[in-house]
Structure formats: C-alpha cells, structure tokens
C-alpha cells in the first residue's frame, strides 16, 4: 500500500478490500481524487485501512480523509466489476481562535466552518450577556467573492460580533447551518446592525434560509442620531469616522479577494473582523436597541 501527497491531497494505490463499511458517509464540500480498483476483489484487513486513514488525518490536522465507494458494486453475477473510489480530503471542520489587534482595539475571533463551534460561540455570547439580552446588539456582515457577471457568487463568510468576541463563519464550507444560528438570528429581541444590512440579510435568507428578524441600518441610524442626512449614504469607513472617531482601513485588494478560499489569509480575517466589530461598536454607541422614531 503506497501513497503520495501534494497540497493536502492524497493519491492512493490500494490493495483491493471490502469497503462496504465505508458506505453512506456524510459528504462535506471537498476536493476529490479518483482511483479505480481492478478485480479480483476480496476482503482485506479493513482495520488497517481505517488505522492508516486515521493516522494520515492527524498529519493533516484538522483535516480529515474518507474513502467513498460508488456503484456499481461487484456481486455474484458480475464478480469482475471494477470499483470506483473517491478519496475526499477536506478541512471543513477546522476551527481556530485568533486575537486580532485592530489598532484601536483588540478582538478575539473564532474562525470556523464547524457548526459545533458556532453553537459554542452563540452559547457563550448568550451566557455572558444573559442579564441584558433584551438590549443585545450584534454586528453583522457577509463576504463573498466578487463577480463580474450577472450572477453573484454565494455568501462565503458570515461575520457576527458582540463586544470583543467575533465569529467568522465560513458558511460556504459548513456541512450544514446549525439550528442555533437560525434561532439566534431569528430572535427579535436581539438587534443586528450593519451598513446595508437589509441587503445582506436578504442574501443569506435566499441562499441559506436564515432569517435576520430585527435589523437596523447604521447609515439611517447615524443620520437620525446626528441629524446629518448624508450619513444615510456613507460607507462603513465614513460612518466609523463620524460615530467612533476612528480610522479604519478597507484595502481594495482584500475587499476584492477570494473570500471563497479554503484558508482565509490573516488580512482577510482582520478585514472581516473589523467590519463586524466596528458595526457592533457603532450600534452600541448609537443605542441601536432603542426605538428610533
């Protein structure tokens, strides 16, 4: 049994074995390599394969490796059928915590595509702020790869921020959207704030059936609070200067970068966190939870 690897993808040459125990795996978004096992096919030590697979997964940590058997299967009438196997290597369950210096503040960011990490982040936020959940303000933003055609690319990253805790959820690579996120976004006692937030909310509802129940656009809110109608049309950078008196960087090369990348760069993560955190801070300062007549 031999293998070679390049850029996180393993190429396998395997002895024939009975892989029926590997059927019906839940597939995540993945890169795949295809190999065909030629007859004769007979049972081998499946435990050896599983052991080797586990060992190789550790080398890729936190990546995982699964072989998937596809039909047609050998049987009594057709014992010489070849078997096609797809070996999936994916990092969809990766999570990391990063402390990010934003120059004007420091934020703890959870960067993940793991639904259980989203569960944990939401649980922590609701526990920490349990005495003031009726005034909970959440900065929200989304990112996707820019498209220069009629069809827009899907949302790749959803950012949420409460206080100095931010979530960067790589929703494009998540195996599913957790129930906790549906409930969190759908709680009308929480106030979600952002620049152009209604369009962002519409996009994630269309693509992921996520409803953001209570949204407040920071441009409209700042215009009302400061009596400056021009703020309705300001971007995040302009609003941050007026409301928070901070200068934020919005590098064009990051704005237009590949947000659907498996591995976000530090610059992308910092950019994503800045958007969500600054949105939260403006929502807090402007008291976005209060009715605005």
Complete DSSP assignment for 88-104: EEE-TT-EEEEEEE-SS
Report if residue 114 sits inside a domain: yes
Report if residue 250 sits inside a domain: yes
Report if residue 290 sits inside a domain: no
15 and 155 together in one domain = no
Please give the average per-residue pLDDT across 181-192, as a whole number. 97
Q: Which of 90, 108, 133 is the last residue of a domain?
A: 90
Cis ω on the peptide bond leading into residue 62 (within 30° of 0)?
A: yes
Give residue for tokens 């591995």. 263
Q: Where are any strands of DSSP class E within the chain?
A: 2-6, 9-13, 31-37, 64-70, 83-90, 95-101, 106-112, 137-143, 157-162, 165-169, 191-194, 215-217
72 and 143 together in one domain = no
Residue 177: give its domain's CATH number: 3.30.420.10
Query: Which residues make beta-bridge pairs with 175?
Result: none
Least confident of 61-75, 82-96, 121-135: 61-75
State how far the Cα of 178 lies from the Cα of 118, in Å rounded to an integer.
7
Q: Which of 40, 66, 90 is the last residue of a domain?
A: 90
Cis ω on the peptide bond leading into residue 19 (within 30° of 0)?
A: no
Report if residue 184 sits inside a domain: yes
* Of 17-21, 35-39, 177-181, 262-266, highest mean pLDDT: 177-181
166 and 40 together in one domain = no
State pLDDT tens for residues 120-138.
999 999 999 999 999 999 9
Residues contacting residue 79 through CB under 8 Å, at least 6 positions apart: 39, 40, 41
Number of C-beta neighbours around residue 241 at 10 A: 13
State how far the Cα of 254 lies from the Cα of 265, in Å rounded to an integer.
9
Give the per-residue pLDDT at 151: 67
Domain count within the chain: 2
State pLDDT tens for residues 20-31.
333 333 333 333
281 and 150 together in one domain = yes
251 and 199 together in one domain = yes
Report if residue 254 sits inside a domain: yes
249 and 188 together in one domain = yes
Cis ω on the peptide bond leading into residue 40 (within 30° of 0)?
A: yes
Contact 185, 194 (CB under 8 A): no
3-state secondary structure of 181: helix
Say if residue 7's pLDDT is above 50: no
Q: DSSP assignment of 188-233, as one string?
A: TTSEEEETTHHHHHHHHHHHH-----SEEEHHHHHHHHHT-GGGGG
116 and 217 together in one domain = yes
Give the per-residue pLDDT at 55: 40
Give the per-residue pLDDT at 262: 86
State pLDDT tens for residues 229-264.
999 999 999 999 999 999 999 999 999 999 999 899
Q: How confident is the model at residue 166 (pLDDT cuts 50, 70, 90)?
A: very high
Q: How confident is the model at residue 93 (pLDDT cuts 50, 70, 90)?
A: low
Report if residue 291 sits inside a domain: no
State how far the Cα of 146 lies from the Cα of 143, in Å rounded to an integer.
9
State how far the Cα of 236 lies from the Cα of 202, in Å rounded to an integer.
19
Report if residue 292 sits inside a domain: no
249 and 111 together in one domain = yes
Range(s) of the domain holding residue 18: 2-90
State pLDDT tens for residues 195-235.
999 999 999 999 999 999 999 999 999 999 999 999 999 99
Give the per-residue pLDDT at 59: 39
Say if residue 77's pLDDT is above 60: no
3-state secondary structure of 116: helix
57 and 142 together in one domain = no
Say if residue 271's pLDDT is above 60: yes
Q: Which of 90, 115, 131 is the last residue of a domain?
A: 90
Query: Which residues make beta-bridge pairs with 198?
Result: none
Report if residue 293 sits inside a domain: no
Look at 288 and 4; give whichever has higher pLDDT: 288
86 and 99 together in one domain = no
Please give the average per-residue pLDDT across 264-272, as a whole number. 96
32 and 144 together in one domain = no
114 and 207 together in one domain = yes
């Amino acid at each position: 049994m031999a293998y070679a690897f390049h850029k996180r993808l393993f190429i396998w040459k395997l002895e024939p074995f009975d892989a029926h125990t590997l059927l019906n795996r839940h597939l995540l978004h993945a890169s795949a390599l295809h190999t065909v096992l030629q007859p004769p096919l007979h049972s081998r030590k499946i435990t050896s394969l599983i052991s080797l697979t586990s060992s190789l997964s550790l080398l890729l940590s936190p990546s995982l490796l699964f072989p998937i058997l596809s039909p047609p299967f050998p049987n009594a009438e057709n014992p010489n059928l070849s078997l096609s196997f797809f070996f999936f290597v994916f990092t969809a369950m990766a999570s990391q915590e990063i402390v990010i210096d934003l120059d004007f503040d420091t934020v703890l960011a959870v960067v993940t595509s793991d639904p259980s990490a989203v569960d944990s982040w939401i649980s922590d936020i609701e526990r920490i702020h349990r005495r003031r959940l009726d005034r909970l303000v959440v900065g929200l933003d989304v990112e996707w790869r820019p498209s220069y055609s009629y069809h827009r690319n899907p949302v790749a990253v959803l950012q949420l921020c409460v206080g100095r805790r931010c979530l960067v959820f790589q929703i494009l690579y998540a195996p599913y959207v957790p129930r906790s996120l549906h409930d969190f976004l759908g709680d009308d006692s929480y106030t979600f704030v952002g620049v152009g937030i209604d369009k962002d909310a519409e996009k994630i509802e269309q693509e992921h059936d996520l409803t953001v129940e209570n949204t407040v656009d920071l441009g409209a809110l700042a215009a009302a609070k400061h009596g400056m109608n021009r703020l309705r049309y300001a971007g995040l950078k302009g609003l941050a200067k007026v409301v928070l008196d901070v200068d934020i960087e919005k590098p064009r090369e990051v704005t237009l970068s590949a947000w659907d990348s498996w591995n976000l760069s530090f610059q992308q993560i910092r950019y994503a966190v800045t958007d969500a955190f600054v949105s939260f801070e403006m929502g807090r300062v402007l008291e976005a939870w209060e009715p605005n007549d």
